[in-house]
Structure 1
Amino acid sequence: MNKKRSLVLFIATSLDGYIATKNESLDWLFNVEGEGDNGYSEFYDTVDTILMGKKTYDWIMKHKASEFPYKNKGCYVFTRSIMDDTEDVRFINEDIVSFTNKIKNKEGKNIWIVGGGDLLQSFVKEKLVDEIILTVAPTVLGNGIPLFKQGDYQLELSLEGTRSFNQFVELHYKVTK
């Protein structure tokens, strides 16, 4: 029997819980002194599938360097529109729960939820998230795009570990189901 893959949120946040400023800037994140890549490469090696929403995909495409950053991973973008797949991305407009459960039951490494917002809220409400790895920056933004939107849901978490990367603190939680 296959072990079910974990759906993991790996993301950085400000101390007051924002993942970006109101104008979608991440500049504040790069002003904090980290250590190496703050655990990114180590985490990235544990996943073979990427899930994101269309807004996150559009932001990446607008701000990317020279090439798509998640090459050689299965990358799925949830959208309400019908779009043609690219060499690097498959666009999904089917039910989030059934699609996610289908890929969680396939053999492979873990699945990474990239970004936040509406898609993350859907995953949380439907109890699809298995782990949260949160890297907290010592920055207070005061407002912006929240990591978790207000809603009718609750998550119970169990702390798996903490690490520090110079000024950043990583909190690793398992979702208690």
Structure 2
Amino acid sequence: MSKKRKVVLFISTSLDGYIATKEESLDWLFKVEGDGDNGYSEFYETIDTILFGKKTYDWVMKQGIKELPYKNKECYVFTRSPNDDKEDVKFINEDAVNFTKKLKNQEGKNIWIVGGGELLHSFLREKLVDELIIKIAPTILGKGIPLFREGDYQLNLTLKKMRNFNQFVELHYEIEK
């Protein structure tokens, strides 16, 4: 019997909880001195599926790349508008929570939810996220796009691990169910 797949958020944030500026810039993040790839490769080996909201996917594609940088991973983008699947991504026009519940029951590695926003908010509300791996940068933005939206939910967490990558601090939490 295979172990149950987990939905994991792996993301960086400013000390005051923003994942980007209001203008959707991450320039501040690349000014922070890290260590190697800050644990990205290690994390990437634990997943085989990547979930995006359409807004996050569009942002990634606006960064001047020709194709998604997630080779050999199943990539799904949740959207309300019909889109044609591409070689490296499938567009899902159904309820994200139900679709993800089905994915969690299939065999495989963990599932990475990329970005914050609506998708993360709905997954947290439905207690669908299992772990949070958050890298905190020593930067205060004052305003921007928050990692966690205000909402009618409360989650209790257990700290699994804490480590640093030069100036980044990584907090790895498990969400209590």
Q: Output the TM-score relative to the length of structure 2.
A: 0.98
SS at match of 1:133: strand
**Alpha-carbon distance, 1:67 to partner:** 3.2
Query: Given residue 76 of structure 1, which amino acid in structure 2 is its aligned partner?
Result: Y
Unmatched tracts of structure 2, length 5 or more: none
Partner of 2:7: 7
Query: Given residue 173 of structure 1, which amino acid in structure 2 is its aligned partner?
Result: Y
1:128-171 per-position Cα deviation (integer Å, ceiling 9, x unaligned): 00000000000000000000011111111000010100000000
Query: How far apart, in 2, do the equivalents of 1:171 and 1:114 lie?
Result: 17
Partner of 2:16: 16
**Alpha-carbon distance, 1:65 to partner:** 3.4
Partner of 1:161: 161
Q: How does 1:103-142 map to 2 (within 5 A)?
A: 103-142=103-142
Q: How does 1:23-62 map to 2 (within 5 A)?
A: 23-62=23-62
Shift >3 Å, 4+ stretches = 64-67
**Alpha-carbon distance, 1:68 to partner:** 1.5
- The worse-fitting range, judged by mean Cα deviation, of 28-37 and 65-74 is 65-74
Query: How far apart, in 1, do the equivalents of 2:66 and 2:86 lie?
Result: 16
Query: Given residue 13 of structure 2, which amino acid in structure 1 is its aligned partner?
Result: T
**Alpha-carbon distance, 1:29 to partner:** 0.2
SS at match of 1:161: strand
Q: Output the TM-score relative to the length of structure 1.
A: 0.98
Unmatched tracts of structure 1, length 5 or more: none
Task: Tell me if the contact between 1:35 and 1:165 (Cα under 8 Å) persists in the aligned partners.
Answer: yes
Query: How far apart, in 2, do the equivalents of 1:176 and 1:151 lie?
Result: 18
SS at match of 1:27: coil
* RMSD, aligned α-carbons: 0.9
